[in-house]
């Protein structure tokens, strides 16, 4: 008898769940994503390449040509739904105490080697947390 009541209760709960569908919350804007990468070896630095449209910006790919990268801070801002993403990148090389700042719009990709993700404001469990 208890089993029958439990099954009926579960059926009622499942039926009510199907009648009242869940409503997803809207995405709030502006969306701001911040990530920081630091070199594994602070003396030699890591390598950081930015791909934007048809251009490529290289830091630390070959230590003879480009100094290694000590750290990179990337801030990506999406102001409104459907708008172009604004990307602000701060890069500090091993050879300079002053950072380089790059401001980009549109689709931006990165290739990072010999660097670790140190901080991020992504939600836990997303794979983008240190």
Q: Give pLDDT tens digits for 12-64.
A: 666 666 566 667 777 788 989 999 999 999 888 999 899 988 888 888 877 67
In a domain, 9, yes or no: no
How distant, in Å, are the alpha carbons of 5, 82, 90, 121, 128 from that of 125?
A: 38, 26, 26, 12, 8
In a domain, 77, yes or no: yes
What secondary structure letter does DSSP report for 98? S
C-alpha 40/C-alpha 69 separation (Å) is 10
User: In terms of residue numbers, what domain contains 105?
Assistant: 31-120
In a domain, 90, yes or no: yes
Q: Which helix (H) or strand (E) holds 76?
A: strand 69-78
C-alpha 69/C-alpha 128 separation (Å) is 20
In a domain, 2, yes or no: no
C-alpha 50/C-alpha 112 separation (Å) is 9
Question: Domain tally for the chain?
Answer: 1
In a domain, 99, yes or no: yes
What are the φ and ψ backbone dihedral angles of 19, each rounded to 5 degrees? -75, -40
In a domain, 62, yes or no: yes
Q: Give pLDDT tens digits for 84-122.
A: 999 999 999 998 899 999 999 988 999 998 999 998 887
pLDDT for the residue numbered 61: 74
In a domain, 17, yes or no: no
In a domain, 129, yes or no: no
**What is the pTM for the complete model shown?**
0.74
């Amino acid at each position: 008898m208890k089993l029958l009541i439990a099954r009926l209760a579960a059926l009622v709960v499942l039926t009510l769940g199907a009648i009242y569908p869940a409503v997803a919350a809207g995405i709030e804007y502006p969306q701001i994503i911040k990530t920081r990468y630091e070199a594994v070896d602070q003396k030699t630095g890591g390598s950081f390449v930015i791909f934007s449209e048809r251009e490529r910006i290289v830091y630390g790919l070959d230590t003879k040509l480009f100094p290694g990268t000590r750290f990179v801070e990337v801030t990506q801002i999406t102001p409104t739904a459907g708008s172009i993403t604004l990307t602000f990148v701060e890069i500090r090389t091993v050879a300079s105490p002053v950072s380089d700042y790059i401001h980009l719009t549109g689709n931006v990709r990165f290739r990072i080697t010999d660097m670790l993700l140190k901080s991020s404001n992504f939600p836990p469990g997303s794979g983008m947390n240190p």
